[in-house]
Chains A and B, each alone.
Chain A
Amino acid sequence: MTAIGWIQIILFCAIITALVKPLGWYMTKVFNGERTFLSPVLRPVEGAIYWIGGVDEKREQHWLTYAVAMLLFHVGAFLIIYGLMRLQAFLPFNPAEQSAVAPDLSFNTAISFLTNTNWQNYGGESTVSYLVQMLGLTHQNFLSAATGIALAVALIRGFSRASMRTIGNFWVDVTRVTLYVLLPICVIGTLVLVWQGVPQTLGPYVEATTLEGAKQTIAVGPVASQMMIKHLGTNGGGFFNANAAHPFESPTALTNYIHMLCIFMLGAALTNVFGRMVGNQRQGWAIFAVMGVLFIAGVAVTYWAEAHGTSTLSSLGLTGGNMEGKEVRFGIVASSLFAVITTAASCGAVNAMHDSFTALGGMIPLINMQLGEIIVGGVGAGLYGMLLFVILAIFVAGLMVGRTPEYVGKKIEAREVKMAMLAILVLPLMYLGWTAVAVVFPPAVASMANAGPHGFTEVLYAFTSATANNGSAFAGLTGNTFFYNLTLAVSMFVGRFFMIVPAMAIAGSLAAKKSIPASVGTFPTTGGLFVGLVVGVILIIGGLTFFPALALGPIVEHLAMNANTVF
């Protein structure tokens, strides 16, 4: 670990913290339907979309209608992606002449992108056409992100409203987020990325003759436009197989930094949106602080582990940390930081191969996802995941003093706690359950690339990543088999919708409640005690759930490494 490494980390945290307030202010205006500086340009487009879609923007929806609208939206998205992948050979923008994608792989990919997971069982440049990349995948990068943000805002409205039946209009929320937040940032960001060297072309792959006379086919494409939304929307699906480690996805230290900031900024700003909407920004900062504590702890461990290297490297006299699977332009610190960011958020883009991380360095990304990606988290998904834990923490605090717990003026009762527990328990059921199945099913075992405990971690990581809708991978695992295509798709689906629907139910039930003013007996939810309590609840629930699985994977691998055992 070096001083300059830590400065890069601290600078990142400082920029994100500085962005929280202005972005939160702007996004609150967008969700409240107020005029913004972009309205002169975008308002006509917005109006046209409502007119075509037959949407009455003044009419709000009950939580159930909101949830149904969201689900219908996803049915359509599934059909678009699946259809495009199956038919790509007959469609335009296919200069590399990619043939139809197999049904199970198309199914897996469609579920993967609409759940904001972007798990990739295919290599982008060797499997799909430019049309699929744009119309199938780039578009869903926008819309699955917009959906996540819309849902978070609906849940916030549940807290901020009193005695109301409705929580907003799904169509209006999705349209406004896409037009006013995601698109403008992407348009500017794309140009910066191209300036730095990220390609943006519809031309065919380039045939080059290298200095030594060998042939090299260089895959290009409309990369930059997808890169921006892939990170901003915490999607993570790469244009290329190597994702953001590929020099065309991230050619410089600057593009890498832009990617990292994009992953965190909207999710972090949503805590401020929450504070503003419930009428006290300090409520938002308290949640941001919980995220910050967990984040810094994770970065410290991974950076230390990667800088420290492996016993194989040190026995050969190699110093400078674990560079296997990392790029020179990013080095140890930017690779470690990126790995923690991408799994704290539900992004899943990678700028280094997590499979080659040290045992402990790779365990932190795994833990981040197993906690439910609540440290900033997926755009929207992180906030509603965190609010579920807040409900639990408040409930625990209430039990301790024997009072009905309250949070931002709402009584937290049996229904909310049950729904929160349902969402929190479904996730481990998926990733632990499927991992257990996979390690006793011989064809699934055959997909492991590494032997020993590392192979087990590959499988655990895959199901964790899918369930948590992350999409990063211990990529050695051969995921493009019938078993994994299917089971991972199920994990992604359950991980997304069994979290969303209970969260919407909580939103509806909270919105209907009366608001009660804070009294002397109210537990203050803006101070250090509250932050500590939430962190504690997260770590205890998380730790009890997945510690045994970690003991079989990364922990035993770390011990084996220290004993100089190889597999």
Chain B
Amino acid sequence: MLREIRPAILVLLVLTLITGLAYPLAMTGIAGVLFPGQAQGSLIEKDGKVIGSALIGQEFKEDKYFHGRPSATLAPDPANSSKTVSAPYNAANSGGSNLGPTSKALADRLKEDVEKLKAENPNAPVPVDLVTTSGSGLDPDISPEAALFQVPRVAKARNLPEDRVRQLVTDNTKGRLGGLLGEPRVNVLALNLALDTATAR
């Protein structure tokens, strides 16, 4: 048995260096050359400044922008670091609400949000993804229905014809991969950038 001690130390060390250092560092190097944009986090720059990542949702509150899904992410309370406060789309601390199907807190939140959205657009059924929080709290997408639901508000805030805004939503809708995998979706940041470009013109 004693002769197992040497490999227990040395085989472990060598394998640790190969899998824990050589492998991730080599992959970082190769990926950085082959796919530099993605490796850095698919960042989007505007006028030389980083405005976000194409893959990470950000918070939109103004009427003139399409809104993403509610986000349950938290941040440390500035007043008391042992507590946390709500901080939607905190991309340094991902997470979901973790509220269960019989949670009163969830039922109350859903009811309030549904009423708000019904007041905003009484003509369409409220899409479920617009009132539920995502697992990561950073979901960059909404369903095409959720985007179309917001068209009247955005069009009014921007003085654009609704058809024009609806067209932008259609242009920014991505289907299933190969018609099969995943779900149809609209990237909120991409749509809002397209909207800004369209309005500026």
A: residues with CB less than 8 A from B are: 4, 7-8, 11, 45, 48-49, 52-55, 65, 68-69, 72-73, 75-77, 80, 123, 125-126, 134-136, 138-139, 141-143, 171, 174-175, 178, 183, 186-187, 190-191, 194-203, 205-212, 214, 216-220, 222, 224-226, 229, 240-242, 245-248, 251-254, 256-257, 310, 312-313, 316-331, 334-335, 350-353, 355-359, 449-454, 457, 474-476, 557, 560-561, 565-567
Contact = CB atoms under 8 A, between A and B. Distances in A.
A334 B42 CA distance: 24
Contacts of B193: 211
Query: Which 9 A-B pairs rank lowest in CB-CB distance, beginning with the nearest?
Result: A253-B182, A139-B20, A245-B135, A476-B98, A242-B94, A331-B183, A72-B8, A454-B100, A353-B96
Contacts of B4: 65, 68-69, 72
29 contacts: A52-B10, A52-B14, A73-B11, A80-B12, A142-B19, A175-B11, A191-B34, A191-B35, A194-B35, A212-B58, A218-B43, A246-B138, A248-B55, A248-B56, A256-B181, A313-B128, A317-B114, A320-B127, A325-B97, A325-B134, A331-B183, A353-B96, A353-B97, A355-B96, A355-B100, A359-B100, A449-B98, A450-B102, A561-B102
A142 B15 CA distance: 9
B9 A76 contact: yes
Given A220-B41, A355-B99, A201 B28 contact: yes
Contacts of A225: 23-24, 27-28
Interface in B134-151: 134-143
Nearest to B70: A324
Contacts of B111: 316
Contacts of B94: 123, 125, 219, 240-242, 245-246
B101 A358 contact: yes
A49 B38 contact: no
Given A191-B30, A208-B51, A212-B60, A242 B114 contact: no
Interface residues of B, number: 101
Contact of B103 (A194, A357, A567): A567
Given A242-B136, A334-B183, 8 more contacts: A69-B8, A171-B7, A191-B30, A216-B90, A225-B24, A330-B182, A353-B96, A356-B96
A328 B31 CA distance: 27
Interface of B: 1, 3-16, 18-21, 23-25, 27-28, 30-32, 34-35, 38-43, 49-62, 65, 69, 89-104, 106-107, 110-111, 114, 125-129, 131-143, 176-177, 180-183, 185, 189, 192-193, 196
A512 B31 CA distance: 49
A241 B93 contact: yes
A446 to B, nearest CB: 14
A186 B43 contact: no
A16 B87 CA distance: 41
Given A197-B38, A208-B50, A242-B94, A318 B131 contact: yes
A253 B134 contact: no
B182 A334 contact: yes
A241 B39 contact: no
Contact of A356 (B13, B14, B59, B101): B101
Interface centre among B110, B134, B180 (most CB of A within 10 A): B134
Contacts of A324: 96-97, 99, 106, 132-133
Contacts of B131: 318
Given A80-B16, A566-B104, A194 B128 contact: no
B39 A201 contact: yes
A481 to B, nearest CB: 13
Given A138-B23, A194-B35, A320 B128 contact: yes
